[in-house]
Structure 1
């Protein structure tokens, strides 16, 4: 309407639905975190699980979080201010590393025993076997489905703009600081997103595993996971395409496992943060797209395991 304020001039105020969606997320998070703590305690007491892998993963998360602070923080020349920010960064890094360690210790022994194929590629990554064809396959699947999810979310934004509504990414506090320099770009788009994807991937993989234990059916668990992922978007920001993205996430988690799921979460957020071709950001966008294409090409080539893409053996006759 002519008298309606454009969405860019509208003040964002959280609605009742968004508060309900946020409350749902908090309840789910706390509930499953308590469950993870109980399972981890049991596994430690019984001596189960890949403790070396858990420590290696948590140390990686710790190092990446500290690296993000070193790269992206505004370092003050005063010793007191540097110490204050350093202690804050270390506390956040330790907290995230501890949560990742907890989730891994909780879920790894049970999945390895009951659902081992879901963690084969993940275990090979922790062992440094990056050139394994299965690892490359899951990275490629996670990359492509992450891009698909980001396209669906951007389509949602386009549809909302056509009806004069506020885009989803602006409702969710889009990280504009990723556009204000190389340091912040590397920190926000690469380093921080890597840690976020690891934690979120582990968390929802843990949720999927518990749902499978309850339902005793893989696809029943996947359907319930899709429902859990859809509720905050449907109730909160009234995003309807989130149902499709939730289904994609659930299928990847149930079919391909932890590594593909983690890569999906990374590239979903990654693509949403680099699709900006404004003059001040276009160089970062180009570099990012080159990175995505290079990784996809490497993953595709490695996943072939040395086999030729187009075999000509069918032209050869038996003698």
Structure 2
């Protein structure tokens, strides 16, 4: 037997608010108990659950698909009320008379926190995902939100419930939801994927050319690539491990992803470094010293300290503008973006390590190295730094252009982020950008709370301890043994 759990946002509810609500405080209702914006999911199986995409993280309930009789999955809201249930019936039918007994729906409705007396029975119109010989449906309202109508669809096989789903007004068929999600994200995703793959091809060509000409700091590139390969390998800590042959597939898949990450980082760095060193030589000074092991160099300490300060500032600026701007202008704010690392951190334990590795990897590879690569290519193509900077602004704004939300907040946040990123990059160097991106990703990705009794408080302590420790280290090294406050009178 095997089991696993995870958390999932209520995407249909979030999409409904984003598309149909225009008030400046539209996201405040996510704190209400019903409808639930976040859901707990649990899955169990009589056999080991082995992901087909063994090296990936997430999609725990869908990968692999439920195909074994006896497998079951349920969803709960944060208060433990049942939202959905699915169980694969046995492969053989029972012929006894008891098999035709009428199913008892009361325990299922009670688990959902619903009073059957307040529900109205209707004909079932939603087909369950598993075979069933009995179906039932009811309509009613949420106990904590009587203005929202709900529909409960249930199914049973030989008297035993095998499916239940609580449907909200914005729920549609899975095909319709998939089509709507694709329509909302298609342009942005296509733009991102095309850009990323073009960057890989361009980086391979440029890196190969640099190698032929004897350019590039190969030692730093290798150390950097190996480091990120090890960080990617840490994702395996949060994988769902099994005591079967399938464990080999999981481990080998993570090894493969780690090797691919090493190759990718090495190629990107070898493509960027020679040109960045020639165009902006001061950009890599502290970075090369840090990667080379000069961890007590005052310039390295300064770069780390600046990065921590900028990362914390960007995070708080993002939170402040996201909350304040809609209230000052009446413009609806952007939807909450739930990071994959956030969902992993909610699982706690070893999964918190995976969440930290995800945030750190993306901050370095996507938000730092890839951006510098794009900047270098733009500079070489356009011939002027200011033109490259302007083009980078356009690309950054277009990459995540909102569909239903007002673009105002998006324009402000993206412009500020890019401006601060470039300012830090040109003034303090690549090391500060890497640290700033890592700190910002950490503070955004890990659920933060100051309630000691909260079950997510442990993640808050770990995140703040890492940021504080990094800041103290940077400060001590930057001071190079000098006192923080100098007594001028004593001097």
Partner of 2:424: 252
Partner of 1:181: 348
Q: Distance in 2 between matches of 1:101 and 1:246?
A: 25
Residues 213-252 of structure 1: per-residue CA shift (max 9 Å, x gap): 3444444433332332222233456434232222222222
In our comparison, the structure showing a higher alpha carbon Rg is 2
Partner of 1:192: 358
Partner of 1:274: 446
Q: Give 1:141 shift.
A: 1.8
Q: Give 1:280 shift.
A: 0.7
Q: Give 1:166 shift.
A: 6.4
8 Å CA contact retained: 1:138, 1:260: yes
Q: Distance in 1 between matches of 2:391 and 2:436?
A: 19
Q: Among 241, 245, 255, which residue is 1:75 paired with?
A: 241
Q: Give 1:34 shift.
A: 1.8
1:59 is the counterpart of 2:234 = no
Q: Distance in 2 between matches of 1:294 and 1:119?
A: 24
Gaps of 5+ in 2: 1-19, 31-36, 38-167, 172-176
Tell me the secondary structure at the aligned position of residue 401 of structure 2.
Answer: helix
Superposition map of 1:1-319 within 5 A: 8=37, 13-14=180-181, 16=183, 18-69=185-236, 71-78=237-244, 80-158=245-323, 167-170=335-338, 175-189=342-356, 191-200=357-366, 201-236=368-403, 238=407, 239-240=410-411, 241-277=413-449, 279-312=454-487
Q: Distance in 2 between matches of 1:168 and 1:156?
A: 13
8 Å CA contact retained: 2:360, 2:442: no
Distance 1:29 1:255, change over 3 A: farther
Q: Distance in 2 between matches of 1:302 and 1:220?
A: 37
Q: TM-score, normalised by structure 1?
A: 0.85
8 Å CA contact retained: 1:208, 1:222: yes
Q: Distance in 1 between matches of 2:344 and 2:295?
A: 32
8 Å CA contact retained: 1:140, 1:300: yes
More deviation in 302-311 or 92-101?
Answer: 302-311
Tell me the secondary structure at the aligned position of residue 14 of structure 1.
Answer: helix
Q: Give 1:289 shift.
A: 1.1
8 Å CA contact retained: 1:65, 1:195: yes
Q: Give 1:312 shift.
A: 4.8
Q: Give 1:299 shift.
A: 1.0
Number of aligned pairs?
Answer: 310
Q: Give 1:63 shift.
A: 2.0
Q: Specify which structure has the higher proportion of helix.
A: 1
8 Å CA contact retained: 1:107, 1:206: yes
Cα RMSD (Å) of the superposition? 2.9
Q: Distance in 1 between matches of 2:350 and 2:364?
A: 22
Distance 1:14 1:140, change over 3 A: farther
8 Å CA contact retained: 1:49, 1:108: yes
Distance 1:149 1:221, change over 3 A: same
Tell me the secondary structure at the aligned position of residue 240 of structure 2.
Answer: coil
Gaps of 5+ in 1: none
Residues 254-290 of structure 1: per-residue CA shift (max 9 Å, x gap): 3322211211221121001234226111122023212
Tell me the secondary structure at the aligned position of residue 119 of structure 1.
Answer: helix
Q: Distance in 1 between matches of 2:229 and 2:191?
A: 28
Q: Give 1:28 shift.
A: 2.1
Q: Specify which structure has the higher proportion of strand.
A: 2
Q: Distance in 2 between matches of 1:267 and 1:144?
A: 9
Partner of 2:69: none
Q: Distance in 2 between matches of 1:52 and 1:44?
A: 13
Residues 151-201 of structure 1: per-residue CA shift (max 9 Å, x gap): 23323543598777663313x656312111220011112x23222222121
